[in-house]
């Protein structure tokens, strides 16, 4: 078997045919004998195989990630089919024996990361891989470990921070006895480690690298974690807004010099629709004011249903991993979300639906169509579709889909949050609402995309007036087009009306609106609990989190609503019990 075929085979088994969900203890899966690294880590092809296998293992965390981050927050609730443990997660009555709070799945991947990092160092020291290969592989695995540790901090608060391999089975059994560090200290350590990674580019492996191939119509480049995004998020959690913005800026501008102008003007820039498959992420209708003509097979929804080689996917997503329709178990969220092909255990909350219904579109339709494109009404009740969308409709034989983790809308909301906190509220408002040019332009035109400006001074106002990392150039004058001239803003892309300009100078008010927008744009994707927790911590305002969870439970008729609110008013109760059984 030649190398390319070997890589395809490994990817197919490790990434597309991941192991099914299990409560099996990690200690049950530890081999009795130590791994002979002389056979497992001989050359860079073996290093590639280790990375691919790691991501296959990582993919098993999606259920834990989605359930913990969405059910604990305000946009997802349980159905009548849910077991008591899911109900506990949703209304904050979680008991220590709840299998959905088990931290071991996270640590299973972390311990594998630690082993791989150690052996990559041995390979480099013994000249079994080049310095360049070592830098890329080591940084990829290291950043993935940092991301997992961030999730552990978000969920559990104080946790064991283990960075060395554990080879003794008894030591693994006793991980519960390891000292734990608080979340703030964890953030400092993660920033220090991740900053020192030897390779921190947007794409883990450049085109042409053997790890960047196409399998079953899926390009593997974006399977691997985007390191500046991890760093940006770590700094944002640590309230270092300039450093967060520097990392987000790097991603937002990574394709500016691409000779393919579609990438240069559209990739990660939230652009307006120009009759091109590269910028077809807008909410669109066949007829402007006819809600029955909402496009499901074009526009915003296709970000979640298109293949990983699709233009829409390439313009929006930075990190995502596909499930194969050809291998078991397939997309695990089908079991939780689908009334027809799953068990229908979770659903959109009434609060989430109300969020969309309270918006108004520019065309006069009195709700946000992103809701219609994220869930559907069935005879069983409202069903989440965003997590199960696929180019080929799901069926008993097709359980495909993808786990989309980082995308442009999330990136823009995070940059907006950092800009707002650094005193650049107008820039944050621009990314949220109508885009750079439309927000900053001062002149005689009715809109930034209309006829050319009449003066040089006017065109220069179509750029943010701030220094790096808050500088974004959206100037456009006839044949002259800067990289950001198509930027249109998240709400504008969704066709919903802009917020009042008074929020440009209201730091706390705009911060709340950014989190409200995340509920509309990013619902069900696994960001909700972290968003609520981050702002509640920063503002020292437990009600920011507690009130939203209370409203979900109240609207869904949960008798524990008031008790949950009272519990969450104490920050000590924001975190799950760390139980190692």
Cα separations in angstroms, 3 against 9, 43, 362: 10, 12, 54
Helix, strand, or coil (residue 43): coil
Q: How far apart are CA 31 and CA 485, in angstroms?
A: 56
Contact criterion met (CB below 8 Å) for 372 and 293:
no
Describe the chain by its helix, strand, coil percentages, rounded to 5.
Answer: 50, 10, 40
Question: Phi/psi at 480 (nearest 5 deg)?
Answer: -85, 125
Question: Residue 220 burial by CB count (10 A; 0-12/13-18/19+): exposed, middle or buried?
Answer: buried
pLDDT of residue 480: 85
Structure tokens, 189: 């350590």
Q: How far apart are CA 576 and CA 244, in angstroms?
A: 27
Which among 439, 400, 401, 402 is positioned nearest to 419, based on CA atoms? 439
Contact criterion met (CB below 8 Å) for 482 and 474:
yes
Which helix (H) or strand (E) segment is 306 a member of?
none
Question: Phi/psi at 262 (nearest 5 deg)?
Answer: -65, -40
Which among 569, 563, 512, 527 is positioned nearest to 546, based on CA atoms? 569
Which among 426, 429, 416 is positioned nearest to 535, based on CA atoms? 416
Which helix (H) or strand (E) segment is 558 a member of?
none
pLDDT of residue 450: 52
pLDDT of residue 171: 65
pLDDT of residue 327: 64
The distance between the two most distant Cα atoms of the chain, rounded to a whole number of Å, is 76
Per-residue pLDDT of the chain (581 residues; tens, 9 = 90+): 343 444 444 454 444 444 332 223 333 444 444 444 556 899 999 999 999 999 999 999 999 999 999 999 999 999 999 999 999 999 999 999 999 999 999 999 999 999 999 999 999 999 999 999 999 999 999 999 999 999 999 999 999 999 999 876 566 667 777 899 999 999 999 999 999 999 999 999 998 899 998 876 677 899 999 999 999 999 999 999 999 999 999 999 999 999 999 999 999 999 999 999 999 999 999 998 899 999 998 999 999 987 766 788 889 999 999 887 666 668 999 999 999 999 999 999 999 999 999 999 999 999 999 999 999 999 999 999 999 987 667 676 677 788 999 999 999 999 999 999 999 999 999 999 999 999 999 987 655 555 555 677 888 999 999 999 999 999 998 778 999 999 999 999 999 999 999 999 999 999 999 999 999 999 999 999 999 999 999 999 999 999 999 999 999 999 999 999 999 999 999 999 998 76
Question: Phi/psi at 279 (nearest 5 deg)?
Answer: -125, 30
Q: How far apart are CA 76 and CA 346, in angstroms?
A: 7
pLDDT of residue 145: 98
Q: How far apart are CA 227 and CA 233, in angstroms?
A: 10
Q: How far apart are CA 19 and CA 330, in angstroms?
A: 9
Structure tokens, 157: 């608060």
pLDDT of residue 207: 87
Question: Residue 460 burial by CB count (10 A; 0-12/13-18/19+): exposed, middle or buried?
Answer: middle
Which among 114, 126, 113 is positioned nearest to 41, based on CA atoms? 126
């Amino acid at each position: 078997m030649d190398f390319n075929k070997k890589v395809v085979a490994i990817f197919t088994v490790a990434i597309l045919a991941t192991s099914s969900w299990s409560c099996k203890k990690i200690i049950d899966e530890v081999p009795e004998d130590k791994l002979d690294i002389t056979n497992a880590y001989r050359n860079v092809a073996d290093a590639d195989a280790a990375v691919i296998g790691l991501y296959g293992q990582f993919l098993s965390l999606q259920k834990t990630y989605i359930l913990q981050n969405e059910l604990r927050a305000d946009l997802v609730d349980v159905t009548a089919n849910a077991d008591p443990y899911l109900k506990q997660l949703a209304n904050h009555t979680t008991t220590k024996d709840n299998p959905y709070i088990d931290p071991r799945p996270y640590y299973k991947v972390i311990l594998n990361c630690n082993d791989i990092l150690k052996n990559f160092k041995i390979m480099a020291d013994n000249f079994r891989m080049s310095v360049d290969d070592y830098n890329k592989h080591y940084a990829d695995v290291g950043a993935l470990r940092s991301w997992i540790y961030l999730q552990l901090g978000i969920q559990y608060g104080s946790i064991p921070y283990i960075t060395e391999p554990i080879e003794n089975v008894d030591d693994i059994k006793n991980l519960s006895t390891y000292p734990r560090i608080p979340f703030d200290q964890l953030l400092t350590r993660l920033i220090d480690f991740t900053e020192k990674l030897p390779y921190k580019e947007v794409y883990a492996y450049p085109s042409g690298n053997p790890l960047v191939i196409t399998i079953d119509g899926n390009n593997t480049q974006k399977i691997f974690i985007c390191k500046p995004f991890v760093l940006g998020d770590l700094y944002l959690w640590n309230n270092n807004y300039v450093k967060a913005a520097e990392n987000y800026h790097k991603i937002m501008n990574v394709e500016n010099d691409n000779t393919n102008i579609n990438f240069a003007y559209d990739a990660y820039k939230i652009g307006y629709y120009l009759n091109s498959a590269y910028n077809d992420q807008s909410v669109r209708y066949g007829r402007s004011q006819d809600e029955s003509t909402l496009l499901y097979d074009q526009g915003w929804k296709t970000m979640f249903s298109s293949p990983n080689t699709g233009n829409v996917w390439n313009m929006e997503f930075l990190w995502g991993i596909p499930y194969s329709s050809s291998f078991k178990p397939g997309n695990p969220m089908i079991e939780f979300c689908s009334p027809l092909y799953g068990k229908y255990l979770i659903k959109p909350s009434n609060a989430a639906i109300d969020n969309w219904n309270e918006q108004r579109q520019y065309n006069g339709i009195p709700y946000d169509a992103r809701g219609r494109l994220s869930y559907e009404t069935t005879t069983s009740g409202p069903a989440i579709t965003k997590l199960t969308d696929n180019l080929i409709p799901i069926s008993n034989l097709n359980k495909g889909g993808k786990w989309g983790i980082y995308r442009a809308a999330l990136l823009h909301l995070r940059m907006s949050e950092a800009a707002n906190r650094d005193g650049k509220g107008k820039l944050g408002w621009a990314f949220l609402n109508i885009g750079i040019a439309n927000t900053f332009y001062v002149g005689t035109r009715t809109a930034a995309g209309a006829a050319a400006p009449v003066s040089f001074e006017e065109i220069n106002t179509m750029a943010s007036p701030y220094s790096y990392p808050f500088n974004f150039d959206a100037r456009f004058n006839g044949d002259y087009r800067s990289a950001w001239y198509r930027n249109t803003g998240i709400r504008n892309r969704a066709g919903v009306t802009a917020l009042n300009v008074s929020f440009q100078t209201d730091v706390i008010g705009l911060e709340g609106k950014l989190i409200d927008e995340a509920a509309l744009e990013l619902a069900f994707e696994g960001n909700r609990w972290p968003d609520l927790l981050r702002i509640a911590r920063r503002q020292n305002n437990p009600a920011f989190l507690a009130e939203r969870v209370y409203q979900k439970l109240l609207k869904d008729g949960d008798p524990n609503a008031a008790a949950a609110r009272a519990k969450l008013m104490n920050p000590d109760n924001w975190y799950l019990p760390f139980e190692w059984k």
